[in-house]
Amino acid sequence: MTQTTTPTPAPAAQPAKPAPKRGNGNGATLGFEAQLFLAADKLRKNLEPSDYKHVALGLIFLKHISLAFEAKREALLAEDPTAAEDPDEYLAENVFWVPKDARWSHLQASARQPSIGKIIDDAMAAIEAHNAGLKGVLPKDYNRPALDKVMLGELIDLISGIATGEPGDTAKDLLGRVYEYFLGGFAGSEGKRGGEFYTPRSVVRVLVEMLEPYKGRVYDPCCGSGGMFVQSEKFVAEHGGRIGDIAIYGQESNYTTWRLAKMNLAVRGIDADIRWNNEGSFHKDELKDLRFDFILANPPFNVSDWGGDRVREDARWVFGVPPVGNANYGWLQHIWWHLAPNGTAGVVLANGSMSSGQSGEDVIRRAMVEADAVDCMVALPGQLFYSTQIPACLWFLARNKNPGGGWRDRRGEVLFIDARKMGALVDRTRRELSDADIARIADTYHAWRGETDAGAYADVPGFCKAATLEEIRAHNHVLTPGRYVGAADVEDDDAPFEDRFSALQSTLETQFAAAERLATTIRAALAGLRHER
């Protein structure tokens, strides 16, 4: 249920880590999740994934809140039957009130009726009417003529089987995992459009494992479907912390995506203050007076029409006015502006942001480095994202690189990590980072920061390098990790054939293109000589 959380003061020093628990691994999905998605996807027939996404996710959400309501209702009936019909009893425990005709049991019994579309729409409207936090969030177009009512009934039957017979908490967790898996599945089906609302889980996990948001305020200025927040809460829970120790804030400019985020967080039982306006964080910063302990963001890459000409005099541009034709350095400075005194941020950006010299971006990057705003740079492998095949990088920013609390003084130093060779192909077009990959990247960062029990840091040729400002100046403040980490001591011959073949093919295509350009130039030169004679 969405609420405005009262800001908590920024921590004076870095919080001590709770005792770690064994995690759930890579988040590799259970077999039933994949099978369920394939079964549901078959039902959509000619319906586009972008439309069907809301149909399926809306029903999963309805099943989830109905399940939570029924469990609470059973408990209240055992204690005080009159209390079972009091909506406040449910709201007091973060359980949505579900009217009788909106409960899943009613939908399941009506699944084969020709009027099932209207029954679902009425159920969604009734739930919104009784729960202010869901107003305007739920899909209510199941009765449109283009939607096959037989398909709707079959989808209800399919979703009805999720969590059947499981105890309350386990059932809700299963539904949450199914919702998350479906988000990723639809992002894959939609390709580039899907990347607008979904950040691959392994990328989010790198950000979360490195920043370790145990306590304080967490913010995402372009939050998509809320994946950063879900992983942050999972991280706290899996490492023995208390979920209530973090307060979540976000903003999203796409109304449809904002609705996905609200449902995604509600399925997880996560309280959050997620704002929407169609102007976006640059032009209508809903949280401009707040500062945050952790910021995790995957802004849209290289946006050229971000309206930079309208915010030329903005106070957020501490390191220089970002170019009108590219929002990358606008995002970095917006995020820096919102960091608390000891805050840290992880930002996903296109690789070009590390070396671009266009429109003064090199001047801004130099100012950020010289001000010790940049803490760590990570080069990621290609093919991680649904929206683009080009490789991306992670920028880690820190307001204070000498925070105390047992951590070492990192001023005048930047950590570079080259993870381009990591990950494995999960299909022909997409790669994922493994548990071991994520752990190696995060552990290197923690050791370099000097965290307790993180072990000693050491440069590893070909993988990581702690570079001084003098070394970065020698490279004209270009922040591409490959310039600093050098070559590995031993060539890795164990890469899968598909990876080596893909790399070789890419190299050959580049060389062929260069050869063609050279041949064209030579022919033109020869033609010029002939005319001169």
Contact indicator for 95, 127 with CB cutoff of 8 Å: no
Asked if pLDDT for residue 101 goes beyond 70, the answer is: yes
Q: Which has the minimum average pLDDT: 8-22, 165-179, 245-259?
A: 8-22
Give dist(CA 313, CA 123) in Å, integer. Answer: 48
Dihedral sign of CA atoms 223, 226, 227, 228 in order: positive
pLDDT of amino acid 492: 44
- Split at pLDDT 50, 70, 90, the class of 523 is confident
User: Higher model confidence: residue 5 or residue 518?
Assistant: 518
pLDDT digits (tens, 9 = 90+) for 253-288: 989 889 988 998 888 778 899 999 999 999 999 999
- Cα 86–Cα 91–Cα 94 angle in degrees, nearest 5: 145
**Residue 28, phi-psi category: left (phi > 0), alpha (psi -120 to 50), beta (remainder):** beta
Instruction: Assign domain 198-485 to its CATH architecture.
Output: 3-Layer(aba) Sandwich (3.40)
CB-count burial class (<10 Å; 0-12, 13-18, 19+) for 175: buried
- Choosing among 3.30.420.40, 3.30.1240.10, 2.60.40.10, 1.20.1260.30, the CATH entry for 48-161 is 1.20.1260.30
pLDDT of amino acid 7: 39
Give dist(CA 355, CA 475) in Å, integer. Answer: 10
Return the amino acid letter for 489.
D
pLDDT digits (tens, 9 = 90+) for 14-42: 544 544 443 333 334 446 788 888 899 98
Residues 391-403: what's their mean pLDDT? Answer: 95
Asked if pLDDT for residue 121 goes beyond 50, the answer is: yes
| Pairing mode, strands 216-220 and 292-297 | parallel
Asked if pLDDT for residue 64 goes beyond 70, the answer is: yes
Asked if pLDDT for residue 186 goes beyond 70, the answer is: yes
pLDDT of amino acid 14: 52
Asked if pLDDT for residue 533 goes beyond 90, the answer is: no
Domain boundaries, the chain: 48-161, 198-485, 493-523
pLDDT digits (tens, 9 = 90+) for 292-339: 999 999 998 889 999 999 999 999 999 999 999 999 999 999 999 999
Asked if pLDDT for residue 230 goes beyond 60, the answer is: yes
Dihedral sign of CA atoms 135, 137, 138, 141 in order: positive
Contact indicator for 479, 374 with CB cutoff of 8 Å: yes
Contact indicator for 464, 210 with CB cutoff of 8 Å: no
Contact indicator for 237, 243 with CB cutoff of 8 Å: yes
Q: What is the mean pLDDT of the chain?
A: 86
Q: Most confidently modeled of 56-65, 458-467, 483-492?
A: 458-467
- Split at pLDDT 50, 70, 90, the class of 429 is confident
| Pairing mode, strands 464-468 and 413-418 | antiparallel
Asked if pLDDT for residue 224 goes beyond 50, the answer is: yes
pLDDT of amino acid 326: 96
Give dist(CA 487, CA 489) in Å, integer. Answer: 6
**Residue 406, phi-psi category: left (phi > 0), alpha (psi -120 to 50), beta (remainder):** left
pTM: 0.79
pLDDT of amino acid 471: 98
Give dist(CA 321, CA 332) in Å, integer. Answer: 12
- Split at pLDDT 50, 70, 90, the class of 197 is low
DSSP per position, 50-74: HHHHHHHHHHHHHHHHHHHHHHHHH
pLDDT of amino acid 422: 96
Residues 179-207: what's their mean pLDDT? Answer: 79
Give dist(CA 214, CA 429) in Å, integer. Answer: 34
Residues whose CB is less than 8 angstroms from the CB of residue 375 and which lie 6 or more positions away in sequence, other chains included: 344, 396, 397, 398, 401, 410, 414, 415
Contact indicator for 182, 56 with CB cutoff of 8 Å: yes
Contact indicator for 272, 2 with CB cutoff of 8 Å: yes
- Split at pLDDT 50, 70, 90, the class of 239 is confident
pLDDT of amino acid 256: 87
- Give percent above pLDDT 90 in the chain: 58
pLDDT of amino acid 387: 62
